[in-house]
Structure 1
Amino acid sequence: MANITETAIGHTHHGIPTEGPGLAGRLIVSMPQLNDGPFAQSVIYICTHDIEHAFGLILNKPIEGVVATEAVADMEEKDIDLPLFFGGPCEPRRGIILHSDQFVLEDSETIGAGLAISTTNEALAALGTPLLPAQSARLFTGHAGWGPGQLDDELRRHTWLDLETSTDFAFSDPETMWDRAMAEIGIPFQNLTALGTDKSAGSRPLI
């Protein structure tokens, strides 16, 4: 896999907005009807959601067979056996660390639900150490993004359902995360399937 450091971690996080109202700090969970493509059975932590855009990280898509050491050039002399996660299809060579807000650097962005993101070499150096242990930090490549009103429209069409999260859930087993999120929502699966999608939904922003 290509190294991501030069175009990702170590540079500014311009272009990754992390402030705004809406669903920032919450999860969105894909409906069963979204059954193909990168968002099938996905659980996304929303970092920004405002009238201009939305930005989030897919929490439950580890990249099979790839660990952090193999993905980032600056880690060649550091053995970190942490999986690399697919954060979404936007800017696929950009690295983002999602971590507990108990570790916050000057350039970190605190989002909500006890979570923050960082994109600097300083944070990368802390990855896999007691400062950012595996149980409270994950490295992502790419992110999920929406344009003005787009996520709001998808929510009206019942493409996604939202719910609260926690640090424990965000860093839990990705293999069972979607099933557990759906169970947490508490709507019987057959009812979700019957809900379908509303193709007539408008695009007026919710916020």
Structure 2
Amino acid sequence: MMSKSQPPDPEHSAEGSYLDGQLLVAMPVMEDERFARSVIYVCAHSAEGAMGIIVNRPAGSINFPELLVQLEIIDKADQIKLPENAESMRVLKGGPVETGRGFVLHSSDFFIKDATLPIDDGICLTATVDILKAIAKGAGPKRAILALGYAGWAPGQLENEIQENGWLHCAADPDLIFGSDVEDKYTRALHKIGIEPGMLSNEAGHA
């Protein structure tokens, strides 16, 4: 599930028009069901395209301790010995691309050389199994979420979707990204932008 290779890492650009380190919030006109009411943390965005992790979609019945057993990181009998932050860690559907791979968004107090991608504001991305081993031992980052899969955009695609009122965007908020209230994140993200959900018309952008 996890691999030794790094996630897609479009060349980082300092240009202000790129949205790496920001949150994307789906508009009601979002026709793609895979992204309806989604909040996405943008990990990389450049002229080469974009890559992000959906932070508000639970991965159904999969829980983190069971995943550690499946990946043979721990024995089934050791589930009860896991540290509290491993016990409570959320497993999310990160997006429709490479759904068999795990991507850990986490606080910057944990770093693996040549594997961890620092993004912005103390948030990093690691996609190797080593971070799961560290979390299982209580030696991982203070805050983390595990996402299965990611969202990807071809060059210019995300810009077009924003232009067509598909997405709003705002500064990232670690409390929102790592919060356990997954079901409330969409409303919280809209409030952060200063919008009440009822204010958004399904006809936005189609006047």
**Contact residue 3 and residue 101 of structure 2 kept, 8 A:** no
Note the residue ranges of structure 2 that are not aligned, 5 or more in a row: 80-85
Contact 1:30 1:40 in 2 (8 A): yes
Q: Partner of 1:91 in structure 2?
A: 98
Q: Distance in 2 between matches of 1:193 and 1:126?
A: 45
Note if contact 1:30-1:43 (Cα within 8 Å) is conserved in structure 2: yes
Query: What does the per-residue CA deviation read over 1:140-174, in whole Å, with 9 as the maximum and x for residues that have no partner?
Result: 11000000100000010110000011322211121
Mean Cα deviation higher: 68-77 or 156-165: 68-77
Superposition pairs of residues 26-41 of structure 1, within 5 angstroms: 26-34=22-30, 37-41=33-37
User: Percent same amino acid among aligned pairs?
Assistant: 33
User: Which letter maps to 1:152?
Assistant: E
2:72 maps to 74
CA drift at 1:68:
2.1
Show the counterpart of 1:154.
161
User: How far does residue 119 in structure 1 lie from its aligned partner after superposition?
Assistant: 1.5
Aligned to 1:205: none
CA RMSD of aligned residues (A): 2.2
Which digits, 9 at most, give the CA deviation of each residue in 1:19-70, with x for residues without a partner?
Answer: 4231000100001222661211100000011111100000001112211233
Tell me how far 1:188 sits from its aligned partner. 4.3
Hey, what does 1:52 align to over in structure 2?
Answer: 48
Q: CA deviation at 1:195?
A: 6.3
TM-score w.r.t. length of structure 1: 0.82
Distance 1:198 1:152, change over 3 A: farther
Alignment of 1:38-187 (within 5 A): 38-71=34-67, 72-77=70-75, 78-79=78-79, 80-81=86-87, 82-106=89-113, 107-132=115-140, 136-172=143-179, 173-187=181-195
Question: Alignment length, in residue pairs?
Answer: 190
